[in-house]
Amino acid sequence: MVHSSPFISDVPVADALQAWYDACAAAGCPDRVAADLVPLAEAAGRVTAEPIWATRSSPVSDVAAMDGIAVLAQDTHGAGPTSPLLLGADGYVVVDTGDPMPDGFDAVVMREQVHYVGADPKVDAEIRSAVPPYQHVRSIGEDISAGELLLPEGHRLRPVDLAAAAAAGATRVLVRRRPRVVVIPTGDEIVPVGSPVRRGEILDTNSLMLVAQAQEVGCEAWPTGIEPDDVERLRTAVRDAASTADLVIVIAGSSAGRDDYTARIVGELGTLAVHGVAVRPGHPVVLGAVDATPVVGVPGYPVSAALTFDIFVAPLLATLEGAAAAERPEITAKLARKLPSVVGMDDWVRVRLGSVGGQVVASPLPRGAGVLTSLVRADGLLLVPAGVEGHHAGEEVGVRLLRRLPEIERTIVAIGSHDLVVDVAATMLRGADPTLTLASSNVGSLGGLVALRDGLCHLAGSHLLHPATSEYTLPYLDELMPGRELAVIRLVHRDQGLLVPPGNPLGVTGLADLGERDLSYVNRQRGAGTRMLLDQELRKLAVDPSSVRGYAREEPTHLAVAAAIAAGRADCGLGILAAARAFGLDFVPVAEEPYDLVVAAPSLDDPLLTPLWELLHSADFHGAIAKLGGYNTTETGRRLR
Ligand SMILES: Nc1nc2c(c(=O)[nH]1)N[C@H]1C(S)=C(S)[C@@H](COP(=O)(O)OP(=O)(O)OC[C@H]3O[C@@H](n4cnc5c(N)ncnc54)[C@H](O)[C@@H]3O)O[C@H]1N2
Ligand code: MOO
């Protein structure tokens, strides 16, 4: 059996990058890719390899800036509103915008201010104001003067740059060739996108993403076939790729598993500069060089792979092109929840952003390196540096933007319990207005009410049962937010029940079974309304929660509970019918409960939320909810408080 080194270091990111660059230089990797002379029409997005000097002025001569007549300014002296002046046919020339100025004329009077008098060919032009020399004339070189520096070396050409370069006399420009990036997916368990996925197999989603990431930063990039975990084959694949590429990305096999060979192969074929960086996700990254080509081993977890590209690969590719790496704009946001972080590691946390009461609020998304949707849903990245232990709720933090600020300002932030109806509302709002987003974070009903109290969201979705009164949500508001002006709008009534595998093979009949039979349960997190409902029902049935197997196993959403049951990891769990349907599960009804939206009363008049209030009364929305099943919309949109 072959053993790879299980020792992964924790080098700080900046040191790791430096060590990698040094190793690349020592291995003879070129500083820059070669340059090509390319036609301007093909140069967008490419980086200049030499400065672009103007060889021609623009405009090439004095030209009319307006449609009208060219005149000699001094001939117009004395013209005024009450003293019109007539210019004879020799005293003016009709010009259109962009025409060269005729010899002997130095100003233009706009057509609107000219009144023609007489008949062809002896037409006089009457004007009613004197004009100064050069009025409405663009002088030679106004835009570009021959001999001036138009663009520096190392500049990524934008559409306007191409136009200016052409105006300045260029037809072809010397630009860096696109860096070539070869991506090698590895792993016995990896199968191509589009294949059926059997147990133990993983789709090769990473190469698709990494190739597109490389293309997005201006490279030519392509994947090789999937390489099995076979040292010999991997060695050949890396060597082949290094001979054609400017940079090689090897996916997975970066950590300490039995088949993790990347670091060893890079070390054997060339130089292993770094194995393990103090960054999460991305910790086991491999940085080195083979045959004068930089090689990076990105961790297999998708979020790690994506962020490793951003943190390590993109800057090196920019250097190869001689350009600065694109930096994301950074803003300050208020943190919606407490955010613990491991000391000693840079922690890249994906966050959703929204603007609440004039303040941008950041809600951390799930942290797992395998949770790719945390990046899909992210509006920004929050870096908790290695030396920081985390942040308190409400703390101001710097966030690098993944979406534009105006989009973030058009985002309704909902925090609270998860319900599919909220997802339906989000979809329909966006369908009606592409600028509008309804972003929901699922932290349970109580978490949502606390977030509302702290000014971190517009809406809290709640179905929180109050055991003492058996009322939902309302009794909590005065406890949590005494004196606050709050409005409560009913979203729906919904059926809660036990989700069980298709056909209900264990014949589950209700919650009482949890006390009487040895069923394994999957629970919701503390503070979730569904958890409160379970606890209340168990109390009524005099079932001790600690006797329920799986009571301590928590999932954050109804769908996650359904997924756990569908995967055979539990026999049952309390959730909504729609979640059962989404996973083809059976449903044993337990209770009907209301699900309400709690907002600060002034939000009822906030134009951002108006489309939501309107949606609640629309027949289309009610129809879409009916399709989900398990909901009752008779009270949808009713204000309870
Ligand atoms: N004992 C240790 N185990 C692990 C460590 C560690 O330090 N010690 N680090 C963990 C961290 S952090 C990460 S990140 C991962 C890195 O894993 P590898 O790079 O070795 O990759 P694999 O183990 O082969 O795969 C991890 C994961 O990613 C999936 N994968 C792989 N390739 C692809 C692909 N092309 N497309 C989509 N998904 C892919 C793979 O199937 C696994 O699920 O290691 C931890 N373990
Ligand atoms: O460092 Mo790993 O990359 O957290 O997932």
254 CA → ligand 1 middle, Å: 7
Burial of 387 (0-12, 13-18, 19+ CB in 10 A): exposed
Average pLDDT, the chain: 93
User: Is the pLDDT score of 412 beyond 80?
Assistant: yes
Characterise 297 by phi-psi region: left (phi > 0), alpha (psi -120 to 50), beta (else).
Answer: beta
Q: What is the pLDDT of residue 4?
A: 42
Cα distances (Å, whole numbers) of residue 321 to 51, 156, 212, 315, 379? 14, 9, 18, 10, 28
Mean pLDDT, residues 399-421: 92
**Ligand index nearest the alpha carbon of residue 369:** 2
pLDDT at 401 over 60: yes
Alpha carbons 187 and 584: distance in angstroms, whole number: 32
| pLDDT attached to residue 121 | 67
Q: List the CATH code of the domain at 35-59+142-176.
A: 3.90.105.10
Quick one: pLDDT at residue 177? 97
Q: Where are the domains of the chain?
A: 13-33+178-321, 35-59+142-176, 63-138, 330-409, 459-632
pLDDT band (50, 70, 90) for residue 178 = very high
Q: What is the pLDDT of residues 271-311, one digit of tens each?
A: 999 999 999 999 999 999 999 999 999 999 999 999 999 99
Average pLDDT estimate for 461-482: 91
Nearest atom, ligand 1, residue 304 CA: 14
Residue 114 reports pLDDT greater than 90: yes
- CATH superfamily to which 330-409 belongs: MoeA, C-terminal, domain IV (2.40.340.10)
Q: Mean of the pLDDT values across residues 471-478? A: 93
Distance of CA 259 to the CA centre of its chain: 33
Confidence of residue 9 (pLDDT cuts 50, 70, 90): confident
pLDDT-derived band at 6 (thresholds 50, 70, 90) equals low
CB of residue 302 inside a 6 A radius of ligand 2: no
User: Sorting pLDDT into bands at 50, 70 and 90, what band is 316?
Assistant: very high
Residue of 619 and 325 predicted with greater confidence: 619
Name the CATH superfamily for 459-632. Answer: Periplasmic binding protein-like II (3.40.190.10)
pLDDT of residue 557: 87
For the stretch 515-537, pLDDT in tens is: 899 999 999 988 788 998 999 99
Residue 441 pLDDT more than 90?
Answer: no
State whether the beta carbon of 280 lies less than 6 angstroms from ligand 2. yes
Question: 3 pLDDT band (50/70/90 cuts)?
Answer: very low
ipTM computed for the complex: 0.96
> Ligand 1 pocket test: which of 206, 249, 255 has the largest number of ligand atoms within 8 Å of its C-beta?
255
User: 300 CB less than 6 Å from ligand 2?
Assistant: no
- Cα 255 to ligand 1 centroid, rounded to whole Å: 7
Closest ligand to Cα 184 = 1
φ, ψ dihedrals at 309, nearest 5°: -60, -50
pLDDT in the model for residue 419: 87
Tell which one of 9, 188, 202 to mutate to probe ligand 1, the residue whose CB is within 8 A of the most ligand atoms: 202
**Closest C-alpha among 125, 64, 61, 48 to residue 99:** 64
Least distant ligand from the CA of 372 = 1
- 280 CA distance to ligand 2 centroid (A)? 5
- Please count the CA atoms within 13 angstroms of the CA of 7 that sit on its side-chain side: 0
Q: What is the pLDDT of residue 128?
A: 92
Q: Region 586-605: what's the mean pLDDT? A: 94
CA of 557 to the centre of ligand 2 (A): 24
What is the CATH number that goes with domain 13-33+178-321?
A: 3.40.980.10
Atom of ligand 2 nearest to the CA of 282: 3
For residue 300, how far is its CA from the centre of ligand 1 (angstroms)? 4
Ligand of minimum distance to the alpha carbon of 301 = 1
Residue 254: is its pLDDT beyond 60?
yes
Any idea what the Cα angle at residue 83 is, between residues 77 and 87, rounded to 5°? 55
**Residue 297 to residue 417: CA distance in whole angstroms:** 39
The best mutation among 11, 206, 280 to test binding of ligand 2, ranked by most ligand atoms within 8 Å of the C-beta, falls on 280
- pLDDT digit string, tens, across residues 337-381: 889 998 999 999 999 999 998 899 998 998 899 999 999 999 999
Ligand 1 pocket, residues with Cβ under 6 angstroms = 8, 185, 187, 189-190, 202, 204-207, 251-257, 260, 281, 283-284, 299-302, 304, 369
Q: Which ligand is nearest to the CA of 349?
A: 2
Q: What is the CATH number of domain 63-138?
A: 2.170.190.11
The residue contributing the CA closest to ligand 1 atom 2 is 256
Residue 415: pLDDT above 60? yes
What is the whole-number distance in angstroms between the Cα of residue 352 and the centre of ligand 2?
Answer: 20
Q: What pLDDT was estimated at residue 118?
A: 86
CA of 258 to the centre of ligand 2 (A): 17
Tell me the percentage of the chain whose pLDDT exceeds 70: 99
Q: How far is the CA of 84 from the centre of ligand 2 (A)?
A: 81
**What is the position in ligand 1's atom list of the atom closest to the CA of 301?**
28
Q: Which of 12-26, 98-112, 175-189, 439-453 is the least confident region?
A: 439-453
Ligand 1 mean position, distance from CA 304 (Å): 9
| Interatomic CA distance for residues 361 and 408, integer angstroms | 10
Ligand nearest to the CA of 348: 2
Stated as kind and residue range, the H or E segment containing 210 is: helix 205-216
